[in-house]
Amino acid sequence: MSAMYVSAAGDVEAGKNKAKICNACHGEDGYAKIPIYPHLAGQNAAYLESSLKAYRAKQRQGGQAVVMHAQAANLSDQDIADLAAFYSSLK
Amino acid sequence: MSAMYVSAAGDVEAGKNKAKICNACHGEDGYAKIPIYPHLAGQNAAYLESSLKAYRAKQRQGGQAVVMHAQAANLSDQDIADLAAFYSSLK
C-alpha cells in the first residue's frame, strides 16, 4: 500500500452487499446507465476510497456531487473500503 | 444528448494530443500507474467533462484534487470535450 494512502482492507463480498443501493446509477455490473455518472468497474480501489471520502466530507462539489453527498454521508471507513474493493474487482 | 447535460462535441484525435500531459498519471492507455489516481479508459465522456469542469472551477477538493486544479485551470470547454472523447474511446 503506498505510504501516501492507508486504508482499511476491503471485503469484496461485503462490498457487493453494500453496493445494492448504488446499482440504480452505477449499474449492477459497475457500468453506469446514465452518461453523467461514472463507470466504477475495475476502477482503482484507492481512488474510489479517496472519492467516497471526499463526497462524505462534502469536499467534492460541482457536477452531480450533491447526489453523492447523501449517498456517502453515513458510510463508515470500512463500508468505503468494502465498496471500493467490490467495484475494483469487477471487470 | 441528455437535456441535463450539454457539451461541445469532442474530437478524439485532438484529445489524444492534448492528453500527452495527462499520461504521466493516467497512463498512455488510460490506466493509471498510481493507485490513488483513476483509470480513465472507457469512462463516460459526460462524467469526464463534468469532473474536469469541477476541477477547473476548484469545486472538487479533497484527495488529490489539488493536483487536478493545476492541470485543469487553463483548459477550454473544447479541450475538455476533446480529452473526454479521447479517454472514453479507449478500451
Residue B5 has pLDDT above 90, yes or no: no
Residue B65 lies in a domain: yes
Residues of A in contact with B4 (CB under 8 A): 36
| Segment B29-76, tens digit of pLDDT | 999 989 999 999 999 999 999 999 999 999 999 999 999 999 999 999
Residue B81 in domain: yes
> Collapsing DSSP states into helix, strand and coil, what is residue B58?
coil
Q: What is the tens place of the pLDDT at every residue in A26-81?
A: 999 999 989 999 999 999 999 999 999 999 999 999 999 999 999 999 999 999 99
Give CA–CA dist A11/B65, Å, rounded: 26
In a domain, A3, yes or no: no
Subunit contact A38:B60, Cβ cutoff 8 A: no
Alpha-carbon Rg for chain B in angstroms: 12
Domain membership of residue A49 (yes or no) is yes
Q: What is the CATH number of the domain that holds A49?
A: 1.10.760.10
Determine the Cα–Cα distance for residues B52 and A54; give it in Å rounded to an integer.
16
- Is B79 among the domain residues? yes
**CA-to-CA dists, residue A58 to A36, A46, B5, angstroms:** 19, 18, 22
- The number of distinct structural domains making up chain A is 1
- Residue A4 inside a domain? The answer is no
H-assigned helices in A9-76: 12-18, 23-26, 45-56, 65-72
SS3 B60: strand
Domain limits at A73? Answer: 12-89
Q: What is the dihedral of CA A39, A45, A51, A55, to 10 degrees?
A: 90
Q: Do B36 and A50 touch (CB under 8 A)?
A: yes
Do A54 and B44 make contact, defined as CB atoms within 8 angstroms?
Answer: no
Q: What number is the average pLDDT over the span B8-24?
A: 94
Distance from CA of A17 to the nearest CA of B (A): 23
Contacts of A39 in chain B (CB under 8 A): 42-44, 47
Whether A7 is in a domain gets the answer no
CA angle B65–A81–A64, rounded 5-degree value: 45
The verdict on residue B5 lying in a domain is no
